[in-house]
């Protein structure tokens, strides 16, 4: 089928059969909720869609519906995600395995509608699993993987792709069969639920020790999410022939420099790598798909012995720089024979970054010393 990223994600949602979907419109996410509404209207999805008055309430309803024992989905972007912030923590605290698509869009002020990952990356510490997707097919596949992982470790998961480049770009997408999805994703039937027959409560005030233990438990669930994500991806590969890994290494053999990035920039970087390799420049690509939990061991293994990396961040945190750049430096800490790390702020605010441009950045990095801080590279 010819589908854009949003509609592809909606097909993934349909296959996952959530029972309750609280939503609130925001560009460029709206086509996801419109498609789900269309599936419901055509009788192709048995789902209760709640048309909320805000993203804050949408997430509030997601949490309780999930805790009452049904599979739940929602989608948002930018300002909507910002408004949800309080409830994102509440969701992970409650260990509610909600799956949400976030379409990366610049955060105001000023207003903009452009691809920029700062919205979701700024939520990296909310206790949500985060997946970054490169294209519509990956978004569809990842929605199903995210449900499998979330329900296994009892944490909420975000499936993220960028505005327009992925959300509105049409590509050929293979929609898996119903039977495949059902085999992959068993019905959600958690033993702990809000139900008078069970009588369990959630959210009461706890003392310091209980809070401490709860945060530790949350951390353990997040650690387990890495194993679960690897398992979910390899099973998906078995069933559909498509797997992505938690990281992807592209033409990394004998590379003297690796380009490290996330989301659809990985597609552009792949072309740059091909160009450079053709010109005899030993460059590869490391794509980080799973950002939370951060696949530290996988990244260290991939970068050990590589002389240099250049990180491309389409996001920006004033005072610290690019999120991936920070995470990567932290992940490499103490690694003997680790690479020199160059950080580039590239594509922040949605500016165009071409393969030629990435190739030039790679060549530049190979010739120079990295600065501690990321450099603005348009």
Map the footprint of other proteins across residues 206-235, applying CB under 8 A: 206-207, 210
Map the footprint of other proteins across residues 41-80, applying CB under 8 A: 48, 50-54, 56-58, 60-70, 72
Of 177, 200, 223, 238, the residue at the interface with other proteins (CB under 8 A) is 200
Of 2, 109, 191, 205, the residue at the interface with other proteins (CB under 8 A) is 205
Q: What are the b/e assignments for 100-116, b being 16+ CB within 10 Å?
A: bbbbbbbbeeeeeebbb
The closest alpha carbon to 59, from 27, 25, 100, belongs to 100
Strand, helix or coil at 23?
strand
Residue 195 binding other proteins, by CB under 8 A:
yes
- Nearest distance from C-beta of residue 37 to other proteins, angstroms: 15
- Rounded to whole angstroms, the Cα distance separating 352 from 162 reads 13
Interface map 137-176 toward other proteins (x if CB under 8 A):
----------------------------------------
- Tokens 């569809």 belong to residue: 140
- Nearest distance from C-beta of residue 81 to other proteins, angstroms: 16
Strand partners, 250: 285
Strand partners, 73: 99
Q: What is the crossing angle of helices 78-93 and 55-67, to 10°? A: 30
Residue 80 main-chain phi, psi, to 5 deg? -65, -40
Interface map 4-43 toward other proteins (x if CB under 8 A):
---------------xx-x---------------------
Estimate to the nearest angstrom the gap between the alpha carbon of 176 and the chain centroid: 21
Map the footprint of other proteins across residues 77-106, applying CB under 8 A: 86-87, 90
Q: Which positions touch other proteins (CB under 8 A)?
A: 19-20, 22, 48, 50-54, 56-58, 60-70, 72, 86-87, 90, 194-196, 198-207, 210
């Amino acid at each position: 089928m010819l589908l854009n990223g949003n509609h592809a994600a909606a097909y993934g949602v349909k296959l996952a059969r959530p029972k309750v979907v609280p939503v609130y419109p925001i560009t460029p996410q709206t086509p996801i909720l419109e498609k789900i509404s269309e599936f419901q209207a055509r009788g192709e999805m048995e789902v209760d869609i709640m048309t909320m008055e805000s993203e804050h309430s949408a997430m509030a309803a997601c949490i309780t519906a999930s805790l009452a024992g049904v599979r739940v989905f929602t989608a948002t972007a930018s300002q909507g995600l910002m408004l949800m912030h309080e409830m994102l923590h509440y969701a992970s605290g409650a260990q509610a395995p909600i799956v949400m698509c976030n379409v990366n869009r610049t955060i105001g002020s000023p207003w903009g509608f452009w691809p920029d990952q700062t919205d979701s990356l700024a939520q990296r510490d909310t206790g949500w699993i985060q997946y970054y997707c490169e294209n519509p097919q990956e978004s569809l596949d990842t929605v199903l993987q995210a449900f499998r992982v979330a329900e296994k470790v009892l944490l909420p998961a975000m499936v993220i792709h960028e505005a327009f480049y992925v959300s509105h770009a049409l590509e050929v997408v293979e929609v898996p069969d119903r039977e495949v999805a059902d085999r992959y994703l068993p019905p959600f039937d958690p033993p702990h639920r809000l139900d008078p027959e069970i009588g369990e409560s959630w959210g009461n005030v706890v003392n310091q020790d209980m809070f401490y233990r709860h945060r530790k438990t949350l951390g353990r669930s997040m650690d387990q999410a890495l194993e679960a994500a690897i398992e979910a991806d390899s099973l998906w590969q078995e069933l559909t022939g498509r797997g992505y890994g938690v990281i992807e290494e592209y033409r990394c053999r004998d590379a003297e420099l690796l380009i490290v990035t996330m989301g659809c920039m990985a597609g552009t970087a792949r072309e740059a790598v091909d160009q450079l390799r053709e010109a005899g420049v030993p460059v590869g690509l490391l794509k980080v798909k799973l950002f939370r939990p951060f696949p530290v061991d996988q990244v260290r293994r991939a970068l050990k012995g590589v002389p240099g990396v250049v990180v491309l961040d389409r996001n920006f945190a004033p005072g610290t720089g690019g999120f991936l750049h920070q995470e990567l430096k932290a992940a490499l800490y103490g690694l003997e024979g680790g690479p020199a790390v160059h950080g580039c702020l590239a594509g922040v605010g949605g500016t165009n970054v071409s393969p030629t441009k990435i190739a030039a950045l790679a060549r530049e990095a190979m010739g120079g010393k990295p600065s501690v801080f990321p450099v603005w590279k348009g």
